[in-house]
Amino acid sequence: MKRIAWLFVLLSVVLAGCNTVQGLGKDIEKTGEAIQRKADK
């Protein structure tokens, strides 16, 4: 449950912070990398 809340907050920040489709792609890439780092721990 805690992870879902964290992911929702992160997604909200990402969507609010990007202004273009290109920016959205970069944000999604960074989010994916962060998730991979978390999974590797």
pLDDT by residue (tens digit) across 19-41? 666 677 888 898 899 889 888 87
Global confidence as pTM? 0.47
Q: What is the predicted pLDDT for the residue at 18?
A: 58
Q: Give 7-41 as a 3 state SS string.
A: HHHHHHHHHHHCCCHHHHHHHHHHHHHHHHHHHHC
Token pair of 23, please?
């920016």
Q: What is the predicted pLDDT for the residue at 33?
A: 92
The Cβ of residue 26 has, within 10 Å, a number of other Cβ atoms equal to: 13
Quick one: residue 25, left, alpha or beta (phi over 0 = left, psi -120 to 50 = alpha)?
alpha
